[in-house]
C-alpha cells in the first residue's frame, strides 16, 4: 500500500509522514496506523498525502520505520529533497544543447557527421535525464487511466526525438527544469529564511547547579525545572520565567516588535530572543522542541503543505486540459499530417504555469507573513482571508490590553484626587490583582508619596482592609463598605457623576467614604487605525463580543466606530453567535486570545489569535497566529492575502492567454515546435518569478 514513505518532521510525541501517493480511503489509512502500538491518533490529509501521528514519547522514528517494515514489505524511506538536486542531468543537457547549436551553425544547411553524432547524443541524454518524467507520465496512465502533465511532456519529448530533431526536447527539459527549480528554490528560501530568523542555534548554555555555580553544558541537557543564566549578547534558548536580574531583550523574532523590551523578575522570556543588555537567571519551563519558537517553525512547515482551494482548482483545470491536448494533437495529425503542428500541441500546455505559479505564490506568502510574526496555517487560509467581509473581535485581551487603567477619580469635598489615590495605592501595594496594579501605576505616574500601611488584610472577592496612620482604610466594592457600616450618604453626590455599570472602586478612610476610582480596560494602541484599514480592504462589519457589562462595552464600541456588540456573553454564547452568524456570510473572521475564545475561533471561517498573551488552546484552534501585540497586523494579513490572490489570478490569466496564443500560432504553422516550447516554458518561468517576488521583494511589487 505504501510505496514511498517520507519523513517530513518528527518531535517527541508527534510525527508527520508523506506517503508518497494519495489514497481515496483516508479512513482506512488512519485505522491502519492507529493499530500501531503506542500510537494515539492518526490524521490523513488527502490533498497532500501526508499523515500526522500523535504517539507516546517513547516511540521514535526508527521504531515507526520498523513497524512500517512489518506492515508494508520493504518500504522505501527517503529524506526530503532540497532544491537543486538535478544539477548533473541539467548540466549534461545544457552541454548537449550547446553542442547541438554549435554543430547546427557550423554545418549550416549541409548535414555533417558531427551534427548527426550530437543529435544521437542529445537524444540519449534527454531519454536518460527524463527517466522520472517518463516513469510518472506512463504510471499515471497505467494506474489511473488518466494522462497527467508528465504524460504530455513525455509524448512531446519522444515525438521530438523520433522526428530526429531533439532541439525541442532539449529546450523543454532545460526550461521546465529551470521553472521547477525556481519553485523549489522559493519554497526552500521561504523555509530556510524563517528557520534562520527563528533559529535558537547554540551549542551550550550556562546551567546553575545545586551549589549555585554556573556550569557550561550542552543545550540537550537542559530540561524543564532547570535554572540557566543568559548573559549580554547571548541568545535565549528556552521558554521560562526570570528569577533574578534585569535585561533589555530583543524579542523581534518572536513578537515582530523591533524595539527591545526591559524585562525583570517574574516576567516571561522566550527562546529565540536576544539579551541586548544585562543578564538574567531563568527558570526553564520549556526546552528543545517544546519551545514556542520550535512550534512556530513546525506550524510554518505544515502550513506550506496545505493547499488553498485555488490550488486545487488550478490542479484540476490543468489536469483536465491534458487529455484535450492529446485529442487536439490527434485531430491535427488526421487533418494536416503535419508533425510540426502535432508537436506544437504536445510541447505547449497549461499545467506547469498554473500549478507552479500558484504553489509558489502561496508558499511565498506564508513565508512573508512569518517574517512579520504572523503564522498562517495553510494556503486555504490565505484564500479565505482575501474574501473576509465581517470581523468579530473579543474585547478583553484582543481589542483591549487586558489590563485596566484609572480613567477618573471622584472625591468627597474634603479630599483631593491625589489624597484618595495615595491612600488607595498604599492599601493595594502588595496585591497582584490587575485593579491594584492599575491604582499603584497611576500613583507612580503622578509621583505621589504613598504612606506606609501598618497592617493589611485582603478579603477575597470584596476588597482590602488596611490600617494607615492608625486609621481604618477600606478599598473595594460598595457592598464591602456597607459590611463595615460606612455611611453611604456621599454616594448620592458621587453616583450622580458616574454610571453604576462602570468598573468602580470605593475608598473609605476613618469610617468615611472619601472617593471613587473609575477604571477601564485600555484599548490597544492602533486598534482604531486597524479597523479603519480593514474597512478600506473590504470589511463591511465589525462586531465585538465580551463578557463585560453593557455600558463599558458600548463605550468601547462607540470609541472605535464598530457596528454592533454583544455584552455579558459566556464562552458558549460567543461560539453560538459565531456559528449562527456564519449563516449570513461565508467570509467571517473571529479574533481572540483566550481559552474562552477557542470554540468561537473554531466555528469562524478564519480564526485569529492576537498578542503575546494568547493561550495554547487558542493557538491550536486558530488558523492564523499573530505573535505581536500590534493590531495593525490584522489589516496587514488581509491586505497580504488579497495581494496574493490578485497575483494568482494574474498568473492564471497570463498562463492561459500566452499558451492559448502559442497553441493557435502552432496550429496555423506560424511558429516551430522549438519556438512553441520556448514560449510555453518562458511563460512558466515568468509567472513563477512573478509569484516568487512576494518573498524576495517583500510584496512591494505585488500591488497595493
Cα distances (angstroms) measured from residue 533 to each of 365, 416, 537, 630, 662: 20, 42, 6, 13, 42
Q: d(Cα 464, Cα 204) in Å, to the nearest integer?
A: 48
Q: Are 603 and 353 in contact (CB under 8 A)?
A: no
Cell numbers linked to 385: 482571508
Please say if 394 is a catalytic residue.
yes
Q: H helices then E strands: how many in the chain? A: 24, 25
Structure letter (DSSP) for residue 235: B
CA 76 to chain centre: 31
Q: Are 635 and 383 in contact (CB under 8 A)?
A: no
CA atoms within 13 A on the CB side of 119: 15
**End-to-end CA gap in the chain:** 48
Sheet containing 374-376, strands listed edge to edge, beginning at the edge strand earlier in sequence: 374-376, 624-626, 606-610, 588-592, 390-394, 541-545, 564-566
Reported residue count of the chain is 704
Q: Which residues pair with 457 in a beta bridge?
A: 465
Long-range contacts of 255-259 (CB under 8 A, 24+ apart): 255/373, 255/612, 255/627, 255/628, 255/629, 256/372, 256/373, 256/374, 256/627, 256/628, 256/630, 256/633, 257/373, 257/628, 257/629, 257/630
Rg of the chain in Å (alpha carbons): 33
Q: Where are the alpha helices (DSSP H) in 130-219?
A: 131-144, 149-162, 167-197
Q: d(Cα 364, Cα 688) in Å, to the nearest integer?
A: 11
Q: d(Cα 390, Cα 392) in Å, to the nearest integer?
A: 7
Name residues whose C-beta falls within 8 Å of residue 91's C-beta, 6 or more positions apart in sequence: none
| Site of grid cell 454564547 | 573
The helix-helix angle for 167-197 and 673-696 (nearest 10°) equals 10
Q: d(Cα 81, Cα 184) in Å, to the nearest integer?
A: 10
Q: Of the residues 150, 226, 239, 394, which is catalytic?
A: 394
Q: d(Cα 298, Cα 172) in Å, to the nearest integer?
A: 36
Cell numbers linked to 653: 490569466
**Among residues 358, 340, 390, 702, which one has the least CA distance to residue 543?**
390
Q: d(Cα 703, Cα 680) in Å, to the nearest integer?
A: 25
Name residues whose C-beta falls within 8 Å of residue 266's C-beta, 6 or more positions apart in sequence: 241, 242
Name residues whose C-beta falls within 8 Å of residue 110's C-beta, 6 or more positions apart in sequence: none
Q: Are 526 and 632 in contact (CB under 8 A)?
A: yes
Q: d(Cα 423, Cα 412) in Å, to the nearest integer?
A: 14
Cell numbers linked to 371: 517574517
Backbone angles phi, psi at 413, to 5 degrees: -60, -30
CA 695 to chain centre: 14
Q: d(Cα 115, Cα 675) in Å, to the nearest integer?
A: 20
Cell numbers linked to 22: 494519495
Q: Are 514 and 411 in contact (CB under 8 A)?
A: yes
Cite the active site residues.
394
Amino acid at each position: 500500500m505504501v510505496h514511498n514513505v517520507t519523513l517530513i518532521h518528527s518531535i517527541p510525541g508527534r510525527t508527520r509522514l508523506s506517503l508518497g501517493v494519495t489514497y481515496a480511503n483516508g479512513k482506512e489509512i488512519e485505522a491502519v496506523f492507529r493499530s500501531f502500538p503506542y500510537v494515539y491518533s492518526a490524521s490523513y490529509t488527502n490533498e497532500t498525502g501526508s499523515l500526522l501521528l500523535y504517539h507516546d514519547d517513547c516511540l521514535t522514528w526508527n521504531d515507526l520505520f520498523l513497524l512500517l517494515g512489518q506492515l508494508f514489505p520493504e518500504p522505501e524511506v527517503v529524506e526530503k529533497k532540497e532544491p537543486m538536486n538535478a544539477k548533473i542531468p541539467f548540466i549534461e543537457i545544457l552541454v548537449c544543447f550547446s553542442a547541438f547549436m554549435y554543430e547546427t551553425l557550423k554545418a549550416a544547411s549541409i548535414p555533417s557527421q558531427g551534427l548527426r553524432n550530437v543529435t544521437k547524443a542529445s537524444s540519449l541524454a534527454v531519454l536518460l535525464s527524463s527517466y522520472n518524467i517518463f516513469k510518472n507520465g506512463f504510471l499515471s496512465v497505467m494506474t489511473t487511466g488518466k494522462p497527467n502533465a508528465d504524460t504530455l511532456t513525455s509524448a512531446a519529448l519522444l515525438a521530438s526525438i523520433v522526428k530526429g530533431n531533439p532541439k525541442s526536447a532539449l529546450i523543454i527539459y532545460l526550461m521546465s527544469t529551470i521553472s521547477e527549480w525556481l519553485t523549489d528554490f522559493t519554497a526552500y528560501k521561504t523555509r530556510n529564511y524563517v528557520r534562520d530568523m527563528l533559529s535558537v542555534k547554540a551549542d551550550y548554555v550556562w546551567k546553575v547547579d545545586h551549589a549555585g555555580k554556573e556550569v557550561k553544558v550542552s543545550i540537550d541537557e537542559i530540561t524543564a525545572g532547570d535554572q540557566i543564566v543568559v548573559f549580554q549578547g547571548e541568545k535565549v534558548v528556552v521558554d521560562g520565567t526570570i528569577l533574578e536580574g534585569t535585561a533589555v531583550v530583543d524579542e523581534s523574532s518572536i513578537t515582530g516588535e523591533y524595539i527591545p523590551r526591559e524585562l525583570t523578575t517574574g516576567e516571561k522570556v522566550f527562546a529565540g530572543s536576544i539579551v541586548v543588555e544585562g543578564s538574567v537567571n531563568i527558570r526553564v519551563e520549556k526546552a528543545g522542541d517544546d519551545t514556542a519558537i520550535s512550534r512556530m517553525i513546525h506550524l510554518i512547515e505544515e502550513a506550506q503543505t496545505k493547499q488553498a482551494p485555488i490550488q486545487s482548482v488550478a490542479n484540476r483545470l490543468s489536469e483536465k486540459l491534458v487529455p484535450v491536448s492529446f485529442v487536439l494533437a490527434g485531430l491535427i495529425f488526421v487533418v494536416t499530417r503535419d508533425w510540426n503542428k502535432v508537436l506544437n500541441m504536445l510541447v505547449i500546455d497549461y499545467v506547469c504555469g498554473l500549478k507552479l505559479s500558484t504553489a509558489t505564490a502561496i508558499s511565498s506568502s506564508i513565508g512573508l507573513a512569518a517574517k512579520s510574526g504572523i503564522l498562517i496555517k495553510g494556503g486555504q487560509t490565505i484564500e479565505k482571508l482575501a474574501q473576509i467581509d465581517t470581523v468579530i473581535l473579543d474585547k478583553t485581551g484582543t481589542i483591549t490590553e487586558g489590563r485596566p487603567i484609572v480613567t477618573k477619580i471622584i472625591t468627597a469635598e474634603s479630599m483631593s484626587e491625589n489624597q484618595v489615590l495615595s491612600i488607595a495605592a498604599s492599601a493595594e501595594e502588595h496585591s497582584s490583582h490587575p485593579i491594584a496594579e492599575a491604582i499603584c501605576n497611576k500613583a507612580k505616574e503622578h509621583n505621589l508619596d504613598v504612606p506606609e500601611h501598618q497592617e493589611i488584610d485582603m478579603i477575597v472577592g470584596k476588597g482590602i482592609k488596611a490600617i494607615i496612620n492608625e486609621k481604618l482604610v477600606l478599598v473595594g466594592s460598595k457592598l464591602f463598605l456597607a459590611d463595615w457600616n460606612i455611611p453611604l450618604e456621599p454616594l448620592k453626590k458621587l453616583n450622580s457623576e458616574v454610571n453604576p455599570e462602570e468598573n468602580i472602586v470605593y475608598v473609605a478612610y476613618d469610617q468615611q467614604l472619601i472617593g471613587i476610582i473609575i477604571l477601564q480596560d485600555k484599548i490597544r494602541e492602533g486598534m482604531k487605525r486597524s479597523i479603519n484599514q480593514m474597512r478600506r480592504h473590504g470589511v463591511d462589519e465589525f462586531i465585538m463580543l465580551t463578557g463585560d457589562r453593557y455600558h463599558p462595552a458600548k463605550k468601547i464600541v462607540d470609541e472605535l466606530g464598530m457596528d454592533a456588540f454583544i455584552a455579558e456573553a459566556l464562552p458558549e454564547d460567543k461560539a453560538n453567535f459565531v456559528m449562527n452568524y456564519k449563516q449570513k456570510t461565508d467570509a467571517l473572521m473571529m479574533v481572540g486570545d483566550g481559552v474562552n475564545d477557542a470554540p468561537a475561533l473554531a466555528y469562524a471561517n478564519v480564526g485569529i489569535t492576537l498578542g503575546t498573551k494568547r493561550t495554547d488552546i487558542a493557538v491550536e484552534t486558530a488558523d492564523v497566529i499573530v505573535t505581536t501585540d500590534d493590531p495593525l497586523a490584522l489589516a496587514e494579513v488581509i491586505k497580504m492575502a488579497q495581494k496574493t490572490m490578485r497575483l494568482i489570478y494574474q498568473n492564471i490569466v497570463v498562463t492561459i492567454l500566452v499558451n492559448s496564443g502559442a497553441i493557435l500560432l502552432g496550429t496555423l504553422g506560424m511558429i516551430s515546435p522549438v519556438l512553441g516550447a520556448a514560449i510555453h516554458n518562458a511563460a512558466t518561468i515568468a509567472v513563477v518569478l512573478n509569484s516568487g517576488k512576494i518573498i524576495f521583494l517583500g510584496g512591494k511589487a505585488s500591488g497595493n
